[in-house]
Chains A and B, each alone.
Chain A
């Protein structure tokens, strides 16, 4: 039995690696095969043809695309990410501190929203059809249906403009005290928590409802098990796989949300870096940021799949 689990996990890891390869291939080709010659962009319209040709030579732009992809991929693995076009700094330096900032923002959000959303999702599924469930459902559909920037601007209007509890623009460079720290993170974290929680609640609720309608839950009900025992002993262990999957999928909304929220609150993370890079068409920087985000997302999905495999009672 255990070798079966190991096999499934190994297979899942191989799929993850293949997917990452396809994705980075797609990112690389989308950004380097399409119109606009990089050398011309860098040197401007008035550059001499000789200068353009020289730069093309120096940047290996005339090599076949597959060779450039391999060189880029190789650099990625060895930690040499190349240089930014816009300011000629090594990308590793540009990303370093900002990566930590983004991970902090995402981490704090996950710490708050996962327990909060799981509780709401599971309780609303158990109390399905009640007034509480309806309120939760309407609120989540409301948050899911509107763009993230609307959630953010509503939060700013409410907390900063009308209630005046928090500053509208989040980032203060000097952090003097704990309250400064709280104020800096409060607004982005609150907004992101709303966006991510709505997704988790919706998916968790669906997963638990599906489990609660299975024959073995009905059997437990007929045996006369108490409501809490049915939910905690019979339904939840089986719903764990789908719930973890729902969590991982919802975290892709965390990525989408981070892009908007870092921009609106001027938060110095990699998402803001990437949006700025898109505005200046700084291709190496865009490629790197995109691959970091995709890899992060794939890692989360793979971990979720592995937890689902391990936690499946039928495989034990």
Chain B
């Protein structure tokens, strides 16, 4: 861990947050609000052709220009936020909860259950994620529910390994031995004794995994194998407007910047979390 000197910090519940962390949080909040209230923000209906020209330039009427059919790019990005954030959030929620539950179970039960599960998860981790995504999408298609489950499935092993490593450490503590001697069952040990002790680093891991999922989802959509038309997430917006790249159209650049602003903000927020929250030994 690098010992970074807090630049400007604001006190909050006894934690201090750096300025960069607060800015990053503001960007994430901005996109969350945009995704939630998309219909209120979008200046035009998402599928409506409003420009006679395709790949129109930025103007006062169309802030981000128009796409390859002449639809308003700003509205499409505002609606795209719903799919990118929604799918990634659903995916990471499933992946992290499965990973944490299995990881705690492996640590508490131990023995062959732990050995077999860990061997299997390690094998799954050794499949590069984008490749894994391609294989599963080929098999189950790319409807929204199957995309969410695919992304969750791909990132469960990583979350499992992280949670198991933490839980194994906690599992050797004296208070666990005491609880075992008291005769508590496995469920109680996992939920009441281990979970509260690993939850903070697990939440930081949740954020990092969210970034991975956003990147993989955008990558799949960019290949035309993720979110399918007429729906479009930010990756799919880049995919459909890629011809505009050769003349530097905003229709390609703007969705890319949207993705980057989200992923960089989440990374920065996690890097700037107070050490109390972020560290394993918390």
State the CA gap A263–B259 with chains docked (Å).
20
A55 to chain B, nearest CB (A): 20
State the CA gap A256–B128 with chains docked (Å).
7
Point out the residue from A161, A252, A278, A293 that lies within 8 Å of B248, measured CB to CB.
A161
Q: Which residue of B lies closest to A149 (CB)?
A: B222
From known contacts A26-B123, A31-B138, A275-B223, infer whether A145 and B260 are also in contact, taking CB-CB under 8 Å.
Answer: yes
Q: Are A298 and B139 in contact (CB under 8 A)?
A: no
Q: Which residue of B lies closest to A282 (CB)?
A: B138
From known contacts A22-B123, A34-B140, infer whether A149 and B219 are also in contact, taking CB-CB under 8 Å.
Answer: yes
A44 on the B face (CB < 8 A): no
Q: Which residue of B lies closest to A156 (CB)?
A: B245
Q: Mark B237-254, 1 if CB is under 8 A from A, else 0.
A: 010001001111000110
State the CA gap A287–B131 with chains docked (Å).
11
B256 on the A face (CB < 8 A): yes
A210 to chain B, nearest CB (A): 11
Chain A positions 117-131 with a Cβ under 8 Å from a chain B Cβ: none
A153 on the B face (CB < 8 A): yes
> Which residues of chain B are within 8 angstroms of A263 by Cβ–Cβ distance?
222-223
A222 on the B face (CB < 8 A): no
A196 on the B face (CB < 8 A): no
B215 on the A face (CB < 8 A): yes
Q: Are B259 and A146 in contact (CB under 8 A)?
A: yes
Q: Are A255 and B130 in contact (CB under 8 A)?
A: yes
Chain A positions 243-299 with a Cβ under 8 Å from a chain B Cβ: 252, 255-256, 259-260, 263-264, 274-275, 277-279, 281, 283, 286-287, 290, 293-294, 297-298
Q: Are B264 and A279 in contact (CB under 8 A)?
A: no
Q: Mark B95-130, 1 if CB is under 8 A from A, else 0.
A: 000000000000000000000000110111011111
Q: Are A150 and B135 in contact (CB under 8 A)?
A: no
B211 on the A face (CB < 8 A): yes
Chain A positions 17-36 with a Cβ under 8 Å from a chain B Cβ: 18-19, 22-23, 26-27, 30-32, 34-35
State the CA gap A293–B127 with chains docked (Å).
9
> Which residues of chain A are within 8 angstroms of B253 by Cβ–Cβ distance?
153, 157
B197 on the A face (CB < 8 A): no
Q: Are A298 and B126 in contact (CB under 8 A)?
A: yes
Q: How large is the interface on A (under 10, 10 to 19, 20 to 34, 35 or more residues)?
A: 35 or more
> Which residues of chain A are within 8 angstroms of B75 by Cβ–Cβ distance?
none
B156 on the A face (CB < 8 A): no
Q: Are B139 and A30 in contact (CB under 8 A)?
A: yes
State the CA gap A290–B135 with chains docked (Å).
7
Point out the residue from B123, B140, B211, B238 that lies within 8 Å of A149, measured CB to CB.
B238
Q: Are A294 and B131 in contact (CB under 8 A)?
A: yes
A219 on the B face (CB < 8 A): no
> Which residues of chain A are within 8 angstroms of B136 by Cβ–Cβ distance?
30
B159 on the A face (CB < 8 A): no
Q: Mark B244-277, 1 if CB is under 8 A from A, else 0.
A: 0111100011001001100110010000000000
B224 on the A face (CB < 8 A): yes
Point out the residue from B134, B219, B259, B264 that lies within 8 Å of A274, measured CB to CB.
B134
> Which residues of chain A are within 8 angstroms of B238 by Cβ–Cβ distance?
149-150, 153
B212 to chain A, nearest CB (A): 10
A139 on the B face (CB < 8 A): no
Q: Which residue of B lies closest to A22 (CB)?
A: B123
> Which residues of chain B are within 8 angstroms of A277 by Cβ–Cβ distance?
138
From known contacts A31-B135, A31-B139, infer whether A147 and B218 are also in contact, taking CB-CB under 8 Å.
Answer: yes
B213 to chain A, nearest CB (A): 12
Q: Are A278 and B134 in contact (CB under 8 A)?
A: yes
From known contacts A145-B260, A275-B223, infer whether A286 and B211 are also in contact, taking CB-CB under 8 Å.
Answer: no
Chain B positions 196-226 with a Cβ under 8 Å from a chain A Cβ: 211, 215, 218-219, 222-225
From known contacts A161-B248, A255-B130, infer whether A260 and B222 are also in contact, taking CB-CB under 8 Å.
Answer: yes
B210 to chain A, nearest CB (A): 12
State the CA gap A30–B140 with chains docked (Å).
9
Point out the residue from B120, B219, B247 that lies within 8 Å of A148, measured CB to CB.
B219
Most buried by B among A256, A274, A278, A283: A278
| Interface residues of B, Cβ cutoff 8 Å to A | 119-120, 122-124, 126-131, 134-140, 211, 215, 218-219, 222-225, 235, 238, 242, 245-248, 252-253, 256, 259-260, 263-264, 267
Instruction: Give the 3 A-B CB pairs with smallest separation, nearest first.
Output: A22-B123, A256-B130, A34-B139
